Structure 1
Amino acid sequence: MATLTRLLSDATDQERSRIIKRVSEEGEKISLDETPWVDSHPRHPMEKKIARHISRSTGIRDHSAIRVMVELDGRGKSHREDNHFRFRAEKGIKTIDISILLWDDLWLNFHTHHFKDAPPWANTTLQGLLILLALLIVIGLLIARRMARPMAQLADAAERFGLGQPQSPIPERGPREVRQTIHAFNLMQQRLQKQISDRSRMLAAVSHDLRTPITTLRLRAEYIEDQEIREKTLATLAEMEAILSDTLSFARDEAADEQARSTDLAALLQSLIDDHADLGGDASYQGPERFNFICRPVSLRRALNNLIDNGLKYGESVVATLSTTPQRVTIHIDDSGPGIPEDQLEAVLTPFYRLEASRNRETGGTGLGLAVANSIILAHGGELTLANRPEGGLRVTLLLNQLTN
């Protein structure tokens, strides 16, 4: 209407007739008359809104020159969209009549009753599309979950295998690429477990088989007449026997299949400290009275016992400290000994490495204590580090991740 008003205002009489004829449609009537079809000014909110829009679009400031009448059976509502005024009719609207006074005292009259309700199938189609979309989303989520479940199982198994926990083969399910990945992981896990088992059995067999000749040598050494040579020979054989015993114990630990279970770690650490204190060692504990932790208690007890033994062997006192967070457990074992040279802090964690070149068991041990402890902590998915304390002595730090099950 606004565009038509501007066109007619500038057109000649002949042009006006052509314009009106072209824009008239079925159900609409447009004419130029000396009198308006609408006698009253807009009263209904919808009528006022239409009039205001026409006024803004045409530049007609005289509100009496714009008259609108809307006849309703039901309800109608208007709204603004993208800076254009639009009228959206709901069922029950019968007619709209508009009269606009042009500059030459002629009225542009407009009448329409061309309002069509939405076809009856429109709502049904929209509902069907929404239901179909919802079904597609649900199906997509189910497919994604089906594809993601095998990968989640693989990730969980890989994490637990890295923590040293034996895993049964993962069912090979999912897409072809996922099945191939799971198959490769199962095969790798089987081979690694077999290699570890074979190595541990071989080490245990060698250590066991050497016990017989050592026992024979010990019996023969008793017949050596020179007392000094006899004592040195027996001491060497005792050292060899101790090394074999530690090696056999190390091999057993490597091959052990201990199941992880909930353990009071605070009580375990306190009991070790109390045992060493009862034997005369200056050992103390700092930390909570109770703390449940999922671990392999037998192997972890041995690791902690080795570390406390080392601390008391090379230092006058040991302090064990336990601290926890929701994700991690930290254990510090501090001694007052001479510490370890910085360039050997990592080397002492390897099997059979001893600081003393003399290889005297009374001072240097067999070189397996720290190696065994480190192996056990690694099997728990943790980390063992050594550091010299500024005030003197060695600090052994154990970092263990908390497991949920």
Structure 2
Amino acid sequence: MRRPIDSLFGRLALLVVAVLLLSHFAWYALMRLERSQLQTRYAVEEATFLVDAVRQHVARTPDQPLPSRVKLVDPASPDVPAASANMPPPLARFVEDVRDRMPADTQVRVGPPGAPPMLWVRAVTDQNWIVVPVQPLRMPRSLDRTVLWLVIIFSFAVMAALFAAWALQRPLRLLAQAVARFGRGLPVPPVPERGPRELRQLTHGFNQMVQEVARTENDRAVMLAGVAHDLKTPLARLRLRAEMMDDAKTRDGVVRDVDSMTHIVEQFLLFAHDGADRSEPVEVDAQCERVVRSYRAVATSAPTVHTELNAGPSFLLPAATLDRILSNLIDNAHAYGAPPVVVATARTPQSFTLSISDSGTGIAAQDLINASRPFVRLDPARGGNGHSGLGLAIVERLVRRAGGEWEIGNHGGRGLRVLMSFPFDVLPRVATASENAW
């Protein structure tokens, strides 16, 4: 199961959202703290200004009434609040700030809790307590418009950051897809060179590598095909002359050698062929059954080929590709394995599978890595006439060209098994390519 967090975009998105969330939360906490401090400073300045205004009013116009909620209280009045030593920290800081702004030895008290907030101030020179209103020091706890704007800004920032992350990882995703196609042996069109400088350099290097590999493969294929093609005519003349020999024993030996050389030449031509298979898709189960029946009809060991076909009619492959895969693998199993040979298909949750296995001794573990390399013959098991070491290499190329993957190994100690898997998403493309060819 693919996890979104494993992708580059998923990790960039998670990182961006986490950084934006942390920065916005820190900004909001700092803003609330600064707002609280600003409110406290403003309340101190306002209270100091009101007390000074009342003193000037008493000194200059004592006969004029005081403003609303501002009053003078006699020190002997029972309404004078007692000095409290257990005030909340914000209120205690507020009282200390007001006291610092007043003359020395000024008494500063706060009205009783539950009533409108009032500040009681009496300096040494004051005859009465000066009582003035003060602003509430606590911010409202309900969500205000700041939080709404914060959410809006955060949403737009996340969308912009996700778009930037998507634009950054898109060239990497295209490059990763091209690398996957190149690894499967499929044609790779040039990848657009976009993104940061380092990514453009990487993409440019990959495009150059693909071009060089394609040029080398094409040169090798042309050389191999040319040599093989030029050998077909002299081999045909040699076979014709061999069949005209009088000595039957010599004639049969020469004909057998010519047939082996002809088979090698045909393998060379098949390996050098790099074009797309445009034959009509066929049902793999039905075609496997037909191929196995033909082997049973012509081979002396016909009963040793069995089938276990369970993929169903949805499993389609080009007819020529499938025939070449089956013929190479069944011939290989007959030549180097032991009966019975089993041709099996199945449907898994992710793909269709096709496997050919025999009951021989298999291949040594250290030789498995070289088994599918072209022109490699594993001695002594891979000796014999008419074999060029291309059979498994041809099968691997055909499977990858059809969009599949293959695995070669010893199957539970019962011989060699070649397991090929074809994902569901490549099968429609195979059928479409064949339809477009017509």
Match of 1:373 in 2: 395
Unaligned runs of 5+ in 1: 1-23, 40-50, 59-65, 71-94, 100-107
Q: Which amino acid aligns with 1:143?
A: A
The TM-score, its normalising length taken from structure 1, stands at 0.63
Moved more, 206-215 or 144-153: 144-153
Aligned partners of 1:267 and 1:289 also within 8 Å: no
Aligned partners of 1:354 and 1:366 also within 8 Å: no
Task: Give CA-to-partner distance per residue, 1:156-179, whole Å, 9 cap, x none.
Answer: 111112112212212222223222
Give distance in 2, aligned partners of 1:356 and 1:199.
28
Q: Which amino acid aligns with 2:167?
A: R
Q: Name which of 293, 304, 307 aligns with 2:326.
A: 304
Aligned partners of 1:277 and 1:283 also within 8 Å: yes
Residues 180 and 358 of structure 1: is their aligned pair in 2 closer, same or farther, counting only changes over 3 Å?
closer
Match of 1:334 in 2: 357
1:257 paired with 2:299, answer no
- 1:33 counterpart SS class: coil
Q: Name which of 305, 310, 319 aligns with 1:288.
A: 310
Match of 2:407 in 1: 384
1:170 paired with 2:215, answer no
Task: Give CA-to-partner distance per residue, 1:44-83, whole Å, 9 cap, x none.
Answer: xxxxxxx99759999xxxxxxx94342xxxxxxxxxxxxx
1:216 paired with 2:237, answer yes
Match of 1:145 in 2: 166
Give distance in 2, aligned partners of 1:223 and 1:202.
33
Aligned partners of 1:38 and 1:97 also within 8 Å: no
Give distance in 1, aligned partners of 2:73 and 2:278.
96
Match of 1:322 in 2: 345
Q: CA shift at 1:235, angstroms? A: 2.3
Moved more, 134-143 or 151-160: 134-143
Which structure's residues are more often helix, by fraction? 2
Match of 1:156 in 2: 177
Higher relative contact order (CA 8 A, sep 6+): 2
Task: Give CA-to-partner distance per residue, 1:293-327, whole Å, 9 cap, x none.
Answer: 68666434422332233334543322233345444
1:68 paired with 2:113, answer yes
* Aligned residues: CA RMSD: 4.6
Q: CA shift at 1:206, angstroms? A: 0.5
Aligned partners of 2:311 and 2:346 also within 8 Å: no
Match of 2:77 in 1: 35
Give distance in 2, aligned partners of 1:342 and 1:395.
11
Residues 171 and 227 of structure 1: is their aligned pair in 2 closer, same or farther, counting only changes over 3 Å?
same
1:113 paired with 2:133, answer yes
Q: Name which of 211, 232, 235 aligns with 2:256.
A: 235
Q: CA shift at 1:276, angstroms? A: 3.9
Task: Give CA-to-partner distance per residue, 1:335-393, whole Å, 9 cap, x none.
Answer: 234545666555543445265689654xx755433332233345546233131654xx4
Unaligned runs of 5+ in 2: 1-46, 52-69, 93-110, 121-127, 427-438
Q: Which amino acid aligns with 2:192?
A: P
Aligned partners of 1:285 and 1:321 also within 8 Å: yes
Task: Give aligned-pair identity as a percent.
Answer: 28
Q: Which amino acid aligns with 1:115?
A: Q
Give distance in 2, aligned partners of 1:220 and 1:116.
117
Match of 1:5 in 2: none
Q: Which amino acid aligns with 1:153?
A: L
- 2:356 counterpart SS class: strand
Q: CA shift at 1:288, angstroms? A: 2.9
Q: Which amino acid aligns with 2:358?
A: D
Give distance in 1, aligned partners of 2:316 and 2:132.
81
Q: Name which of 203, 214, 218 aligns with 1:193.
A: 214
Residues 288 and 232 of structure 1: is their aligned pair in 2 closer, same or farther, counting only changes over 3 Å?
closer
Superposition pairs for residues 39-58 of structure 1, below 5 Å?
A: 54=87
Aligned partners of 2:324 and 2:395 also within 8 Å: yes
- 1:309 counterpart SS class: helix
Q: Which amino acid aligns with 2:133?
A: H
Q: Which amino acid aligns with 1:169?
A: P
Give distance in 1, aligned partners of 2:279 and 2:164.
35
Residues 190 and 292 of structure 1: is their aligned pair in 2 closer, same or farther, counting only changes over 3 Å?
farther
Q: CA shift at 1:205, angstroms? A: 1.0
Give distance in 2, aligned partners of 1:55 and 1:140.
43
Superposition pairs for residues 74-153 of structure 1, below 5 Å?
A: 95-97=116-118, 111-115=131-135, 134-153=155-174
Aligned partners of 1:218 and 1:234 also within 8 Å: yes
The TM-score, its normalising length taken from structure 2, stands at 0.59
